[in-house]
Structure 1
């Protein structure tokens, strides 16, 4: 069995805990042996394959264990860096959003028209779906793509059109194989995200919204909560407004039922999450604050920075979640390989002992026959 096939088998979501069934594959044949509990060794049946086949299988599992353990260590080293990037970007991102909400409120009071805060009846929604670049990360890509399909179905039920901007190799290949999903743009990721990477997406989003090709832009990505937990979320990117204000031509709200703004913080050096509904209000800036410049000019200067920052933050969150999922998947795969190797070794030793015993009995029987 090749390492790739074995790696895919032992890295499945279900750990190998049942030692009562051992499958040994050699070339195109599949062998099955029902192995009894060690306490019932007398009832242990003979396995239908040679000792050489078992040795090859044990060697293959051992090599696969080395690969999964190495991938686990690499993912653990990378996820630390990704985690630090997520935590370090939170203070600036939160402060920027507080400032923008406060300025946007003042601009609405002054009846100032700014393109990126223009709330209009929604006819078409752009979905920016962020997935991973590689597999072997459990259900990471499956969950966010399932979330995207659920949101698309929700938009269809509302009678709205949509377009998908796919970011990530896995999402791109998934959507290419499903032509019935309207995906117009495919963007490749790679490595740790930078402001240059997020700017490419921000430019597409900006042109779509300002040209009124779409009336709303939503980010779908995987929120990093901890090393063992992440959650696919939907976040309204444009227009900048309070939750529930974006409606279709009939006055029905088109916001996702799970659209929440996650205020991520770090407490005592540890990750923490506070869940707050987006209200459009800011506690960081006083309502009677005076602006030296026109609020419209400040918004025009800050909105591109807001777009880039929010997309970069989503890319960082998604990467941290992917690496954490891969680390956990490879950890489970390593544990499964250890259990499988132990079970195969027991089978091998029992078969070898049985073979030696049989040969000894044949020698003794032959010697007695000569007497």
Structure 2
């Protein structure tokens, strides 16, 4: 409609000029010239409208991409802050685990030559296995969740190939949803959600369920699969046997402590290797008020709680580092896309201005004959 109005206006202007200027000796336009002028004007106006529409679309996309970059950059900084908090949590719980492990090792050495009954240390023939898999509760963390699920699924298939009966206990919403949807293939015994701030109470609740299954004979072994924190761009799926317990647990030879540092606006990880915790020195004349076996049976559940809490904290740190890296990549990609769209917009705008100038020149030439 706008195009038709423009064409009619041009015809009217040209007709008026021909009618009023002809008697004064000014050359008039013929009908063929008017038709030619309108024909030349119409496609130019159409192209101008198209260019304006394209510019508006590009402006909208540029604004959307820039807003998205602000969001992803904010999420990256939040994830970095949470990685620091996860690091602090690991460092705070480590002294307790190390001290407990030292006492545990000393008691085992002292009772090593005696025939003691410690069910949690007893290795038996394995027919049933519980596999505990850990993932995150949220997405936008790269391939973290998919790697955790694939590693857990691969371990389950490997155990079944050995003729063992396998139950699954998923921890985290993503892995729970995956195995719940495939209940005809996998036997999901129960599930847990610990969020991004695992606590000692949550670890104790998980340990209590696993201990009950192991002591009742419902399972002969408990394995846990989690993502060990390696760096900000890498996590390593690891498998550890929780039950039966080993004398050396999470704090073993070659273990490392990670610390997140920042310099010049960039984040990095400093790693420090720590030795295995030695057995505590118990005097030969030390007299226990209770039977050492009873003490061990009381310590072992706490020891298991500490191992599970450490694994949960490592998994959270890996998830947050993966999310931090994913958001950094998203921010970089958004910046590149915004630059490309700005270039397209500038070219479209330049073409539109050039087209308008050509239309003005064409109109002037048409009026001047």
Q: How far off is 1:205 after superposition?
A: 0.5
**Equivalent residue, structure 1, for 2:344:** 347
Please tell me whether Structure 1 or Structure 2 has the larger radius of gyration of its CA atoms: 2
Other-structure match for 2:271: 272
Report the structure, 1 or 2, having the larger helix content. 2
What is the distance in 2 between the residues matched to 1:290 and 1:155?
Answer: 47
Report if aligned partners of 2:58, 2:341 keep a CA contact under 8 Å in 1. Answer: yes
1:229 to 210, 230, 234: 234
Aligned to 1:55: 59
Q: 1:313 aligns with which of 310, 316, 319?
A: 310
Q: Report SS of the residue matched to 1:325.
A: helix
SS of 1:50's equivalent in the other structure is helix
Q: Determine the structure 2 residue equivalent to 1:189.
A: 194
Gaps of 5+ in 2: 1-49, 262-268
Per the alignment, residue 147 of structure 1 pairs with 151
Equivalent residues of 2:226, 2:238 under 8 A apart = yes
CA distance in 2, matches of 1:217, 1:48: 66
Equivalent in 207, 216, 241 of residue 221 of structure 2: 216
Contact 1:58 1:344 in 2 (8 A): yes
What CA distance in whole angstroms lies between the structure 2 residues aligned with 1:320 and 1:228? 12
Question: For each residue in 1:82-138, what CA deviation from the matched residue of structure 2 results, as whole angstroms up to 9, or x when unmatched?
Answer: 111112323332343343244334444211011211211011111111111111001
Paired residues in the alignment total 306
SS in 1 for 2:141: coil
Q: In the alignment, which residue of structure 1 is the partner of 2:328?
A: 331
Give the aligned partner of residue 101 of structure 2.
97
Q: Is the 8 A contact 1:106 1:295 kept in 2?
A: no
Moved more, 198-207 or 102-111: 102-111
SS in 1 for 2:190: strand
Instruction: Give the match's secondary structure for 2:318.
Output: helix
- Aligned counterpart for 2:142 among listed residues 129, 132, 138: 138
Q: 1:298 aligns with which of 273, 291, 295?
A: 295
Correspondence for 1:263: 255
Aligned to 1:165: 169
**RMSD, aligned CA:** 2.8
Shift in CA distance, 290/61, structure 1 to aligned 2, threshold 3 Å: farther
Checking the alignment, whether the CA contact within 8 Å between 1:87 and 1:266 is kept in structure 2 is: no
**Please, which runs of 5 or more residues in structure 1 have no aligned partner?**
1-45, 244-259
Aligned partners of 1:101 and 1:282 also within 8 Å: no
Pair 1:308–1:273, CA change in 2 (3 A): same
Matched, 1:80 2:84: yes
Shift in Å, 1:169: 0.9
1:283, distance to aligned residue in structure 2 (A): 3.5
Q: Which residue of 1 aligns with 2:361?
A: 364
Cα distance in 2, alignment partners of residues 261 and 238 from structure 1: 20
Distance change in 2, residues 1:57/1:102 (3 Å)? same
CA distance in 2, matches of 1:48, 1:183: 58
- The SS at the match of 2:195 is coil
Shift of 1:304: 1.1
Q: Residue 168 of structure 2 contacts residue 187 of structure 2 at CA under 8 Å; is this kept in 1?
A: yes
Asked if structure 2 preserves the Cα contact closer than 8 Å seen for 1:86 and 1:313, the reply is yes
Q: What whole-Å deviation, never above 9, does each CA across 1:163-205 have from its counterpart, x for those lacking one? A: 1111111111111122212211111222411111111101110
Is the CA contact 1:225–1:273 (under 8 Å) kept in the aligned structure 2?
A: no
The answer for the alignment partner of 2:35 in structure 1 is none
Structure 1 length-normalised TM:
0.75
1:145-177 Cα deviation digits (max 9, x unpaired) = 111111112101211111111111111111112
Distance change in 2, residues 1:242/1:160 (3 Å): farther
Q: Would you say the 8 A contact 1:90–1:264 is kept in 2?
A: no
